[in-house]
Structures are given as C-alpha cells and as structure tokens.
Amino acid sequence: MTPPPPAAPEPAGSGAADPLDARLPSPLVEVADERLAARGVRLALKRDDLIHPDLPGNKYRKLRLNLAAAAEAGHTTLLTFGGAYSNHLRATAAAGRLLGLRTVGLVRGDELADRPLNPSLARAAADGMRLEFVDRATYRRKAEPETLAALTDRFGPAYVLPEGGSNALAAVGAAELGRELDGEADVVAVAVGTGGTLAGLAAGLAAGLGSGSGSGSGRAEAIGFPVLRGGGFLAAEVLRLQEEAFGGRRGRWRLDDRFHHGGYARTTPELDAFAADFAARHGLRPEPVYVAKMLHGVHTLAEEGAFPPGTRVAAVITGTDPGETG
Ligand SMILES: *Cc1c(COP(=O)(O)O)cnc(C)c1O
C-alpha cells in the first residue's frame, strides 16, 4: 500500500478546507433604528448575503453538506428544480461551475421554453446549467419515484436536490446559522420559502442546550416570515425537516404569515415604501422577494409591541438585491 500523500495545507483564515471558500461566520452588524429604539428593541443584521458572491446566504449553508454527499457518492451531476426566478437554481448552477459538476435544472412552466431567458435563468445557463422547461402538471409530480426514474434515464445518474434545496442535509447545514447566533439575540427573524433555513436555524439556536430542554428554555426564538401566500403547510414542512434532520422538533420557532404581500415575488405599495425607507436609513436596499418582507414583519411586530423592551432582534439577510450587484 502506498502511504497517503501529505495533507494539503488549509487555506489561511478558514476552518476545514472549503473548495467554495465561504466567509464564515457571517458578520452580525447592529443598526440604529429610532423607531425600534423607541420600543426598546435593538436590531442587528446577520449578513449572510456576504458569505459567498455566487452562493449567497442560506443557499450556501443549505448546499454545503449536499455537495459533500454528492461527491462522497461519486456523483458528477446535480439535478434540481425551481421556478423561473429561483435563487436555488442559480446557486446550484454556480456551485456546479465552481466544483466542476454538471448541473441540470428543471424549470416550472413549459411556456418559458420559447421566451428569452430572464436574468436569473440566463445566469444559471451561463454557469453551465442545462435548463429543461416542464409543464406544471409534470412539475407537480417531480418528487415521485417514476418521475425521478424517468429523469435519471434521460440525464444519467444524478444527485437530486429537492425544490428550493430543502432536505435534511440542508437543515443540518443551516443549523450553523443558529449556532453563530446563539447568545447574540433573543429573537431571530428569517424569511421562509421552503422552510429548510428556519428548520436548521431554530435547531442551531437550541444546540447549546442539554437534552430535554425544549420550548420555554429562555433561549432565542426564531420567527419565520413566509413570502408566499397560503403558507399554512409550512409549519408541517418545517417540522418534517426537523424530524428528518434532527430526530424531532428542535428549538423555539413559529411562523407569522401576515407579510407575504400578495404572494411569491409580489409586492404592495406599502412594502415598496418600507423598503425604500429602510434603504435610506441604513444604506442597504433589502432584497425584495424575501428580505424586505421579513424586515417589514420585524418592524410591524415591534410596533405592535410584540417584543418586550430590551429585546435583541437579529434579522437574517439571506440575499442581496440583484439591483445592487448588477
Ligand atoms: C431561498 C431563499 C430564502 C428561503 O429559504 P428556505 O430555506 O427555502 O425557506 C430566503 N431568502 C432568500 C434571499 C432566498 O434566496
């Protein structure tokens, strides 16, 4: 047997060698907001948008262990699903480019096949992702075994990531976010799409607790703000992800579904005004699909008196306004 080659030195400043070179932990930056201060509430922004230029925020955290599992199993293709504006599709395409993996993205809506690609899909395509547009009925059946078998027949063996990238490994990866915030906040606010980030965040916030301690522990509560309409199914989905990832319900978390502003990628004049005001006050234009809705929720809850004076709120900035980075 030949001895293993000497281990390559790890890059300076990071923990375990990370081929994607993520900047972790992300910064936690306190901002002065006089409306919140009037309620005795302190706000800090957890800048997950700064983790990686191509896989911002929670997308990096959710992909990390899945990419390791794909490599471990010898897969050279990632296959996943998303809508036409899916950040997850774009992040998967970028990861494929950086790691030398083939990527296939199934996009909801076969009518899109004949139209020019929107900027998000164009970016995924430029990163080498093969885009396949499927009708909505087929898309709904994407997780069924027959559909997956047909896809691997067509595209070859692939590591399959669910829509939005939320599976048990994604939740375990997102728990790191909670651990980074442990002791730093009383309430952590996060926008919710598919729920994987909230599932992991809440578990990570509770990770320092001994077994048997659950709700009422006095540790931070995670509040998820669904950005889609009719997110009533999400509580069950977050619980399912926690059961798969951690073996049961973990941490203190709840959803507040009043801030979807009409649904996914929809907005209202109230939300637009809020986002413009936030940008003017803090020099950070909130990403409109997720982050602006979460921040609007935080400010509204504060105005409603939901947070006792002295509460430290951490708001997770999961993404960047595409208008900011071009
Ligand atoms: C994907 C995404 C989310 C939602 O994450 P889930 O784990 O799907 O709930 C939140 N914010 C941004 C910017 C995202 O891209």
pLDDT band per the 50, 70, 90 thresholds, residue 213? very low
CA of 163 to the centre of ligand 1 (A): 11
Evaluate whether 283 touches 29 at the Cβ level (below 8 Å).
no
pLDDT digits (tens, 9 = 90+) for 277-311: 999 999 999 999 999 999 999 999 999 999 999 99
The residue ranges of every structural domain in the chain are 28-56+167-316, 76-157
pLDDT at 231: 81
Measured in whole angstroms, the distance separating CA 176 from the mean position of its chain's CA atoms is 12
pLDDT at 140: 94
CA of 264 to the centre of ligand 1 (A): 11
Evaluate whether 54 touches 91 at the Cβ level (below 8 Å).
yes
CA of 124 to the centre of ligand 1 (A): 17
Q: Is the CB of 87 under 6 A from ligand 1?
A: yes
pLDDT at 253: 97
Tell me the average pLDDT across 40-48: 98
pLDDT digits (tens, 9 = 90+) for 52-72: 999 878 999 999 999 999 999
10 Å CB burial of residue 218 (0-12, 13-18, 19+) is exposed
Residue nearest to atom 15 of ligand 1 (CA): 87
Q: Is the CB of 167 under 6 A from ligand 1?
A: no
Give the up-direction half-sphere exposure of residue 267: CA atoms within 13 A in the CB hemisphere.
18
CA–CA distance, 118 with 236 (Å, rounded to integer) = 33
CA of 13 to the centre of ligand 1 (A): 27
Task: Say if 28-56+167-316 and 76-157 have the same CATH topology.
Answer: yes
From the alpha carbon of 88, which atom of ligand 1 is closest? 1
Name the residue with tokens 């409306």.
Answer: 35
Query: 5: Cβ–Cβ under 8 A, 6 or more apart, which residues?
Result: none
CA of 317 to the centre of ligand 1 (A): 10
Q: Give whole-number Cα distances, 258 to 33, 293, 301, 314, in Å.
A: 22, 10, 11, 19
In this structure, of 8-12, 43-47, 134-138, 221-225, the range with the lowest mean pLDDT score is: 8-12
pLDDT at 19: 74
Q: Is the CB of 56 under 6 A from ligand 1?
A: no
From the alpha carbon of 62, which atom of ligand 1 is closest? 7
Q: Is the CB of 290 under 6 A from ligand 1?
A: yes
Helix, strand counts (H, E) of the chain: 12, 10
From the alpha carbon of 49, which atom of ligand 1 is closest? 13
pLDDT band per the 50, 70, 90 thresholds, residue 17? low
CATH class of residue range 76-157: alpha beta
* More confident site: 34 or 231: 34
Kindly report the number of other CB atoms within 10 A of residue 41's CB atom.
25
pLDDT digits (tens, 9 = 90+) for 192-204: 999 999 999 999 9
- Using the predicted structure, report yes or no on whether residue 90 has a pLDDT greater than 80: yes
Evaluate whether 193 touches 318 at the Cβ level (below 8 Å).
no
Q: Is the CB of 58 under 6 A from ligand 1?
A: yes
pLDDT digits (tens, 9 = 90+) for 145-191: 999 999 999 999 999 999 999 999 999 999 999 999 999 999 999 99
Q: Is the CB of 173 under 6 A from ligand 1?
A: no
pLDDT at 236: 97
- CATH code of the region 28-56+167-316: 3.40.50.1100
Q: Is the CB of 192 under 6 A from ligand 1?
A: yes
Entry pTM: 0.91
Which H or E run includes 58? helix 58-72
